[in-house]
Structure 1
Amino acid sequence: MSDISDDQNFLDDDVEDTMDEDSVYGYDENGDSDYAGNSDEEAVLDDYGDADDAFATQDMGQKRTFEVDFKSHTVASIESAQKEEVEHVASMFMIKDTDAAILLRHFGWNKERLIERYMDAPESVNLEAGVHEDPARPKLQRLAGFTCEVCYTSSDDEPSGKMETLALACGHRYCKDCYQQYMEQKIREEGESRRMQCMKEKCNLVIDEVTVGLVVEPATFDRYKILLNRTYVDDSSILRWCPAPNCELAVECHVSSKKLDKVVPSVKCDCGHPFCFGCGNAAHAPAVCPIVKLWLKKCEDDSETANWISANTKECPKCSSTIEKNGGCNHMTCRKCKHEWCWICSGPWTEHGNSWYNCNRYDEKSGSNARDSQAKSRASLERYLHYFNRFANHEQSAKLDRDLYGRTEKKMEEMQLTSDLTWIEVQFLKKAVDILTECRMTLKWTYCMAFYLVRNNMTELFEDNQRDLERAVEDLSEQLEKPIEKDNIPEMRQRVTDLTVYVQKRREILLADTANGFQEGRWEWNVAI
């Protein structure tokens, strides 16, 4: 009954939602799903003015507890930031801007540490960094009677009787051609930029960027500047390059590495790519970086198990017919016997809408009576497979959303033709798929986190939030799979809108509660992180 999208998260700005979740879509006292009635639908429209307004993507400036501050930077803004730092240090110490740049790069752009060290021992710092205090800037000079010590070419061999040469502040002079070959090899073949030194053996004087520009070809100099920008970002503790292919933006975030066991720094580059600022991997909220690292290593170590569990076919629990899952929705219906069941746990689908729905929760009792090493090993594997199966399924469902995304566009065109809705008004379907995919990825990482949580009351509450989000996601996924009927378009539009808002709300509740739990020290791990 479903198909879902790719690895790439179609993450738009979060929905600003102020309404009570039960007024949109809820569950009755028996746990059965219950769409809001007409009065509730009117309440929804009263709050938002129109169904489309529920998906307004403007950030109202109110940061949620699970969000962090971040900002994207272009190459121009990165160069501007470097220039500002250089000018500050140069004016403070009354030195050349090129020398200030070399000093800052030597200290990894840690200006405070540079100032502290330089104030105590400027000569020692200059020697260490490869700076020579000379007010004159190096320049190319044509000299007669000069022989290069590298290539042994003499100025007498030149038609003019003079050879173009270069010497740094250290006084070691060589011909321009040798320096050009030396620099271009360093830049193009070795990727060096911050510490290109004088060609004289054992001389550690660093060549500044103005001098590099005098010698190398323009294309090589452009490459050199790119490398300088890269080292600036790589050295910075508050900047990270966006990992998206062909993106040249960097993201600034002030979450330190010491806080990564308590904070999940999920950021989103201006190019639209979401990722974790802490580890550079795909966004993995609510799991913290150390837990994600352990989980990915375990999945890699158990690759054969992963290959087995992620098989695309299962048998119908009732008639044993082989069934292939070709969509994201986990509500399966056997074509042969018409039995409706859950792809995840193989249980009857009717049980997934009531209060004793436990598809997301691992039964610890099944492994508590293991008495020998073989039984314990088997119980441990069973527990791992429980969480990995659900982790991999949500990942697969998100990938299958690509097909659903394509079908949604066709549905949007169909709705335009069969109703009086405009293209803007049918965008609710695209928005629903975007949020569905976003929630799939969140659910995926909840199973990574749950695997390492110590079983206690807090874990029970976490899994309750996980279950509520998962149940809502399945309802929205199934709704998006349904064919469009011309007479029911207004009702379908309202139902998808309400479901989408509710699903987004459930995600926010889960992420907010998890973030608060980290700050309050509620979560206990069964491994050291």
Structure 2
Amino acid sequence: MGNTATKFRKALINGDEVLAHHLYESNQQFRDALDPNCTYGESYQHNTPLHYAARHAMTRLLRAFLLSKDGNPNKRNMHNETSLHLLCMGPQILTSEGALQPRISRPYEDNQRRAECLQIVLAWTGAKLDHGEYERADISATDNKKNTCLHYAAASGMKTCVELLVQREADLFVENENRDTPCDCAEKQHHKELALCLESQMVFSLAPEAEGIEAEYAALDRRELYEGLRPQDLRRLKDMLIVETADMLHAPLFTAEALLRAHDWDREKLLEAWMTNAEECCQRSGVQMPNPPPSGCNAWDTLPSPRASRTNRSSLTSPDQISLMPTDEESSLCGICMSTTSVFEEPVDMPCGHDFCRGCWEGFLNLKIQQGEAHNIFCPAFDCYQLVPVEVIESVVSREMDKRYLQFDIKAFVENNPAIRWCPERGCERAVRLNTHGPGTSTSETLNFPLLRAPAVDCGKGHLFCWECKGEAHEPCDCETWKLWLQKVTEMRPEELAGVSEAYEDAANCLWLLSNAKPCANCKSPIQKNEGCNHMQCAKCKYDFCWICLEEWKKHSSSTGGYYRCTRYEVIQQVEEQSKEMTDEAEKKHKSFQELDRFMHYYTRFKNHEHSYQLEQRLLKTAKEKMEQLSRALSNREGGPPDTTFIEDAVLELLKTRRILKCSYPYGFFLEPKSTKKEIYELMQTDLEMVTEDLAQKVNRPYLRTPRHKIIRAACLVQQKRQEFLASVARGVAPNDSPEAPRRSFAGGTWDWEYLGFASPEEYAEFQYRRRRRQRRRGDMSSLRSNTSDPDDPSDSTSGTADSIRGFLKLFSMVSY
């Protein structure tokens, strides 16, 4: 029997299923004595017969061990691997023993056999447990490397096995010691189709915390304070504004357009002037006061036709103008060229009544259009300021000239409208409209947060620019602060300041030595005096000298003051002057390096976010490709493929916030140091950075490994923090620091957190901890200042910011974003 057991073990280890099954079936005594759960000892990594049967996918032996011999697939070997781990290891997977298994000539058949074995193991039921359920194969078990059976199946590219494990709700998000999920393992082994399948399952996995995510995603504010406009959008916007104004004022379209143009296309401004004096408003705009519309007619039904007969022209003019109208005999004479017009020539009708031949009209209008004066063409008659209607221009000039007129007209509409600006990108014909009433295109919406002084806008083609200076987008910085930052970068030449931090530390150490020590009079080694008399001996060169005058101790006696005094006045004065000069020089150098180190702190973080922004811009292209891949992978899903636009929305939100973080450091650089405003600004900046980096980790991956609801919530949180940050900057971050005041004391000293406006002692403690951590990170020389400053000097107190912190936090809590 021993010989049979040895042969059986060797057959199992070598994967010879035929020989192993023959030995098992041919020897009844051996079969009855075999325990598939009994290990072969430490020499064989404590593997059992069941482990080897699973490792080599021996279907018949595996079924016999589990069904007839009470085999337990949850039994572990030396590496904490169960039978499921070994079963899901493909033939090219590196085993725990470090041996690479030989390649199987027919991998498809091997995968099918392993899938069949996996079904047998997953269908296994063991003993009844305490809670009443039967023991099942543990698909969540991890080995010493924290790999599950799904990790190995994915790395082996066994799609059928992966699908079986996913159906049994195997954990898709568990990470091994290399922080790889099963999807990452498939991607590293170049099983792209399987990685995409796992990715889709991970992204659209359902979890209890995903409840309500659709409402959150719908609430994601995709609106902006601006709107990119194409040329056709500009024409439509202009026409809509004219029609709405004409309907409101019961005026012809031409009159409404002239009134809007005279008031910078601001309807509110026009209505205010109209309500004050409508007749004067029309006169300043170069149009006549419109007649009241007939009952049941629209406002534009009163528009005069350019082809109206001369008998109907009197109905469009005032009685004074009727008396000045020329007779039929006079009307045949042109007022410019003084030639006689043919009675068959189509007349050019003007509301003012002045009549000229069509040739003169065409020449006059062509000249005005070529000069670019398309928006203010007045009647050519002397001392007449009546605007020429658009209908007249269109009926007189050629088609080509009419197109040029429309181009100039749109250009004038944009340039005279303070709420619309052209995109500065060369060759771009788009414009941007700033919605001063808040996000969205409806002017009925109210602004729920203040507008920055220099908001960043996008024309719709990805051309970002500053609304005020039309340069590079730089919110939250205003244009002046951004200009100062660029000048500072030019002056500092940061590429040449590689060792600033080390030089700053050296200067600080030098200043400390000069403030707290003196050099040996002989070897110049620094010496610190803690106690004792003025007789000093250098520990390095054994030189004896006086601590006060730094002269040899031989020159001192009782006549010079003894051991505790030195009366050598001239020498003492000289030493003090030299010491003061050295201290002043070291302090000046220290301050210079301190400013350089401070600049490098902000510049380094500014460049880091700029670099991250450039790298993450590529995600827009990959996000669209990822959306298409996920849609194809889930095309057979019940109910159709899911919505994948959340990926692009998350990337866009990441880019917006990254750009704001980049420009937030120049803004923080020019804030007053050690002020309450700056502390609160940096707290909000840190919070925004944390949520931004969290979102970046979720979306900046070749394969998404985060569920959809977590990506959406991360994007919503980033948007919320971004809007809060910008609103805070627009409001001024915090009120100005109050003047220094004595700290208010309370009985027992336990009410500090309440006095400062915090909700709880824990919140106050967290604020203090983060404040101290930032100070340590800056490397400020607070300990040096505390050693060299006067303790009685009230200017050293930092407790005066309590009132401003309290007032700001109370004000901040009342603001809704």
Is TM more than 0.5 here? Answer: yes
Give me the whole-angstrom Cα distance separating, in 2, the residues matched to 1:495 and 1:145.
Answer: 81
State the AA in 2 paired with 1:80.
Answer: M
- Asked whether 1:195 is paired with 2:376, we answer yes
1:252 corresponds to which of 407, 432, 435 = 435
Shift of 1:465: 3.4
1:295 partnered with 2:478: no
Offset at 1:181? 3.3
Q: Aligned partners of 2:451, 2:634: CA distance in 1, in Å?
A: 51
Counterpart of 1:104 (choices 260, 281, 287) is 260
Question: Identity rate of aligned residues, in percent?
Answer: 22
Whose strand fraction is larger, Structure 1's or Structure 2's?
1
Instruction: Return the match for 2:209 from 23, 44, 47.
Output: 47
Residue 104 and residue 503 in structure 1: after superposition, are their counterparts in 2 closer, same or farther (change >3 A)? closer
Q: CA deviation at 1:46?
A: 1.8
Q: Distance in 2 between the 1:57 and 1:177 partners?
A: 66
Report how far residue 293 of structure 1 moved: 0.8
Per-residue CA deviation, residues 407-458 of structure 1 (Å, 9 max, x unaligned), is 6677788889999998868877656544432331121132233123333234
Equivalent residue letter for 1:213? E
Residue pair 2:423, 2:429 contacting (<8 A) in 1 also: no
Query: Is the partner of 2:478 in helix, strand or coil?
Result: helix
Partner in structure 2 of residue 183 of structure 1: 365
- Is 1:522 the equivalent of 2:734? yes
Distance 1:55 1:456, change over 3 A: farther
In the superposition, the TM-score normalised over structure 2's length comes to 0.39
* Closer, same or farther: CA 500–440 of 1 in aligned 2, 3 Å: farther
String of CA shifts for 1:351-391, please: whole Å, max 9, x gaps. Answer: xxxxxxxxxxxxxxxxxx9966x987776565445434433
- Aligned-pair CA distance for 1:85: 0.4
**2:393 alignment partner in structure 1:** 212
Alpha-carbon separation, structure 1, partners of 2:280 and 2:349: 23
Any residues of structure 2 matched to 1:200-279 within 5 Å, and which? 200-225=381-406, 227-228=408-409, 231-232=412-413, 235-236=416-417, 245-247=428-430, 250=433, 252-254=435-437
Change in Cα spacing, 1:226 to 1:406, as seen in structure 2 (3 Å) is closer
Q: 1:387 aligns with which of 596, 599, 602?
A: 602
Alignment correspondent of 1:494: 706
Q: Is the 8 A contact 2:420 2:431 kept in 1?
A: no
Given the superposition, is the C-alpha separation of residues 268 and 430 from structure 1 closer, same or farther in structure 2, using an over 3 Å criterion?
same
Conserved 8 A contact 1:233-1:239: yes
1:377–1:137 CA distance, 2 compared to 1 (3 A): farther
Is the alpha carbon distance of 1:107 and 1:497 closer, same or farther for their aligned partners in structure 2, counting shifts above 3 Å? closer
Amino acid at match of 2:686: R
> Which of these residues, 82, 93, 96, is aligned with residue 242 of structure 2?
82
Q: Deviations over 1:287-327 (max 9, x none)?
A: 2xxx4211332245456458x5479x989x99xxxxxxxxx
Q: Is the 8 A contact 2:282 2:288 kept in 1?
A: yes
Residues 284 and 445 in structure 1, CA contact (< 8 A), matched pair in contact too:
yes
Q: Distance in 2 between matches of 1:448 and 1:401?
A: 21
Structure 1 residue aligned with 2:689, among 466, 470, 478? 470
Per the alignment, in what secondary structure is the counterpart of residue 253 of structure 1?
coil
Distance (whole Å) between structure 2 residues aligned to residue 261 and residue 44 of structure 1: 39
Amino acid at match of 1:293: C
Relative to structure 1, the CA distance from residue 279 to residue 163 in structure 2 (aligned partners, 3 Å threshold; closer, same or farther) is same
Q: 1:134 to 1:63 in 2, by over 3 A?
A: closer
* Structure 1 residues not aligned, in runs of 5+: 1-33, 36-40, 319-368
Tell me, yes or no, if structure 1 residue 509 matches structure 2 residue 509. Answer: no
Of residues 418, 437, 446, the one that matches 2:655 is: 437
Counterparts of 1:64-75 in structure 2, within 5 Å, are 74=233, 75=235
| Inter-partner Cα distance in structure 2 for 1:237 and 1:420 | 48
Structure 1 counterpart of 2:263, one-letter code: F
Q: Which whole-Å CA distance do the structure 1 matches of 2:722 and 2:687 have between them?
A: 9
Q: Which sits farther off after the overlay, 297-306 or 200-209?
A: 297-306
Q: Please tell me whether the aligned partners of residues 107 and 114 of structure 1 are also in contact (alpha carbons under 8 angstroms).
A: yes
Q: Could you tell me how far apart the structure 2 residues matched to 1:521 and 1:128 are?
A: 44
- CA displacement at 1:254 relative to structure 2: 1.7
Higher relative contact order (CA 8 A, sep 6+): 1
**Is residue 143–residue 155 contact of structure 1 (8 Å, CA) maintained in 2?**
no
Provide the rounded CA distance (Å) in 2 between the counterparts of 1:385 and 1:238. 38
Per-residue CA distance 1:216-267 (angstroms, 9 max, x = gap): 234543554455455555555656667784546745332699x967688677
Kindly indicate whether the alpha-carbon contact (under 8 Å) linking 1:187 and 1:223 is maintained by their aligned counterparts in 2: yes
Q: Name the stretch that deviates more: 214-223 or 204-213.
A: 214-223
SS in 1 for 2:435: strand
Determine the C-alpha separation between the residues in 2 that align with 1:162 and 1:425: 67
Measured on the aligned residues, the alpha-carbon RMSD in Å equals: 5.6
In the alignment, structure 2 segments of 5+ residues that lack a partner are 1-178, 181-202, 292-303, 311-327, 439-445, 503-584, 738-817
> Which amino acid is 2:243 matched to?
K
Distance 1:115 1:404 in 2: 47
Alignment check: 8 A CA contact 2:228 2:431 kept: no
Residue of structure 2 equivalent to 1:129: 285
Change in 2 beyond 3 A, CA 1:241/1:411: closer
Aligned-partner residue type, residue 294 of structure 1: E
Are the aligned partners of 1:155 and 1:161 in contact in 2 as well (CA < 8 Å)?
no
Tell me what 1:449 maps to: 667
**Count of residue pairs the alignment pairs up:** 408
Give me the whole-angstrom Cα distance separating, in 1, the residues matched to 2:387 and 2:256. 12
Contact 2:474 2:482 in 1 (8 A): no
In structure 2, the residue corresponding to 1:400 is in which secondary structure?
A: helix
| TM-superposed deviation, 1:86 | 1.8
Secondary structure of the 1:494 match is: coil
Select 1:396's aligned residue among 611, 626, 633. 611
How far off its partner does 1:83 sit?
1.0
What's the secondary structure of 2:379's corresponding residue?
coil
Cα pair distance change 1:155/1:404, threshold 3 Å: same
